[in-house]
């Protein structure tokens, strides 16, 4: 496994309900355009700004793993049980403090940018990462 601590890492979070070719497409674009070494798909139990997910976490993890099976630069993580939270800021703090990641590109879709100011600690997310839309 590649040591990702000193690499450029993208983080794409969301409920992935389910993971689809759009997620894969923007991930591949980010890898190529920003020259990312790896992208972490952070699958959340629930998006605090959306309704209850259709698929269970287990089903979403399975579908995401199946979708990326040939992509060596994408890693799937589910941190909600460890963190007790689905909040992006908590996951970012974990990746920085526990996994010692230094150069994080936080990837969001333009649809999320509209409500980004409603996210918990959104200003801190911008300070800690390179926000990438």
Q: For 39-83, what is each residue's pLDDT tens digit?
A: 999 999 987 777 788 999 999 999 999 999 999 999 999 999 999
* Cα(88)–Cα(85) distance, integer angstroms: 9
52-66 core/surface letters (b: 16 or more CB in 10 A; e: else)? ebeeebeebbebbee
- Token pair 């980004």 is found at 116
Angle at 131 between CA 127 and CA 133, to 5 degrees: 160
pLDDT band at 110 (very low <50, low <70, confident <90, very high): confident
Q: Are 40 and 7 in contact (CB under 8 A)?
A: no
| Residues 76, 24: Cα–Cα separation, whole Å | 12
Q: What whole-number percentage of the chain has pLDDT above 70?
A: 95
């Amino acid at each position: 496994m590649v040591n990702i601590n000193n690499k450029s890492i993208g983080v794409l979070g969301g409920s992935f309900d389910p993971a689809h070719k759009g997620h894969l497409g923007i991930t591949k674009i980010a890898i190529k355009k920003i020259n990312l070494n790896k992208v972490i798909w952070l699958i959340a139990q629930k998006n605090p700004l959306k309704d209850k997910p259709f698929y269970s976490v287990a089903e979403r993890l399975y579908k995401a793993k199946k979708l990326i099976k040939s992509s060596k630069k994408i890693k799937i993580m589910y941190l909600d049980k460890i963190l007790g939270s689905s909040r992006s800021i908590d996951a970012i703090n974990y990746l920085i403090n526990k996994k010692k990641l230094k150069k994080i590109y936080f990837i969001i879709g333009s649809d999320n940018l509209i409500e980004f100011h409603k996210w918990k600690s959104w200003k801190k997310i911008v300070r800690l990462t390179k926000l990438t839309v």
